[in-house]
Amino acid sequence: MQYISTRGGTLGQFSDVLLEGLAPNGGLAVPEHLPRLGADDLERLRVLTYPQLATEIIGLFATDIPRQDLARLTDAAYGDGKFAAEEVVPLTAIDDLTLVGLSEGPTLAFKDMAMQFLGQALEYVLENRDGVLNVVGATSGDTGSAAEHALRGLDRVSVFMLSPQGRMSAFQRAQMYSLQDENVHNIVVEGVFDDCQNLVKRLNTDLDFKRAHSIGAVNSINFGRISAQIVYYVWAWLRATDAIAEADRSSHHVSFAVPSGNFGNILSGHYARTMGVPIRRLVLATNENNVLDEFFRTGQYRPRTSADTLATSSPSMDVSRASNLERFVFDLLGRDPERTAAAWHELEERDEIDLSAELGRFEAEFGIVSGTSTHDDRLATIRDVHERTGVTIDPHTADGVKIAREQLEDGIPMLVLETAKPAKFADLIQEALGESPELDADTRALLDAPQRVVEMPDDEQQLRAYISERALHA
């Protein structure tokens, strides 16, 4: 399978885009054609374990990796002991909703689902090419820790992870900053997540710097992560329809509610739906930084400035400029790279894109609806779910549950993607329930561990100098 840029041009195969990050013209890598899954294909996948399913689904995109090698990589990512749940992704009923458990991995967040595979795949490709990679990424909370825990200690990879000062929970900071591995560099930027993300983008679009220092990305602009996230949409549909008579399964649709910040998670659902998984709706849930909700309600995309990006109690979604939206707009505009490039030129010129002419297609063609959740909504939802079911959910999942309840349809199961364990947000759980999640000995030790971090202003030249001094070279 070949990959192209959303703004034009060919990029190579899966292994190439795995290492590339942003395309040279600033676009994002997308498959030249999305593969299709028919009813027979889905039934064939039903009997597979999660690692086996990952091999089959990712294998549709990673056609340049021999199947036996890919099976070894997915087994290393999702096999025995890597995830707390034996099935890797458990489904749990809570009243009229079903939680899709994506936070059973080493950092207790859904980012582990893709990052564990990405770490294996990067090491495999770099060994085959005798290369190195310096990952420069930005995190609003969970991406950073998942990336660092997947890549720590690797000989051929260094990680430079930018995070916004004072915008993450104590648990999230501890998971990242307590790592002492020499190949992990945590950089706290004076600003918000979008400032961190903008620094990363500027380095990625400087082709000379990028090539000189072998710069790559592991946030959700990396298509390797998107392909791995498609897997759990397929898995969740299969498990949700296991009890349905085989003759009726192919027409049995479900909906997914997805807490959304950078649009990577729900984009994977969009691809799964386009490939043929019977998904009725993709319900996008935002917090008070509701730029995406505004876009899907009005067709107007107006990213906020750093000063206008709010610090909320679901901090991983404090994003005002969603990188992956470009991939969706590419599909919305008929996969036309010229129209997509023009839209992003308009964004750079005017700080907004007007796609209101396409508004009627968002739900009718792509099944996407949206809503906004607030701090008070999160508290009320966490409290209500706990009282009704005994299950404690984290604030981001609460955003998803709140909006999911507004979009329920008769006869259509609603699956909510769980994003993290509540222990990562103990202060909010305390506020909602009057008691914090019980911390085990490992968590207490993590919070007390010494932290290693560098503080830096929002300064591109200072960041360049820091990376240049510490980057790996082949």
Catalytic residue numbers? 111
Token pair of 456 as six digits: 């830096």
Token pair of 392 as six digits: 């404690």
DSSP for 107-145 reads TSBTHHHHHHHHHHHHHHHHHHHT--EEEEEE-SSHHHH
Contacting residues for 378 by C-beta, under 8 A, at least 6 apart: 287, 313, 314, 395, 398, 399, 402, 428, 432
H/E stretch holding 226 reads helix 223-240
Contact 427, 314 (CB under 8 A): no
Residue 206 and residue 19: Cα distance in Å, rounded? Answer: 16
Counting Cα atoms < 13 Å in the Cβ hemisphere of 350 gives 11
Distances in whole angstroms, Cα of residue 14 to Cα of each of 58, 125, 213, 215, 244: 10, 10, 21, 17, 36
- What's the Rg (C-alpha) of the chain? 21
Contacting residues for 105 by C-beta, under 8 A, at least 6 apart: 82, 83, 84, 112, 113, 116, 146
Handedness of CA 160, 164, 170, 172 (dihedral sign): negative
CB atoms within 10 A of CB 350: 10
Contacting residues for 383 by C-beta, under 8 A, at least 6 apart: 432, 433
Residue 370 and residue 292: Cα distance in Å, rounded? Answer: 8
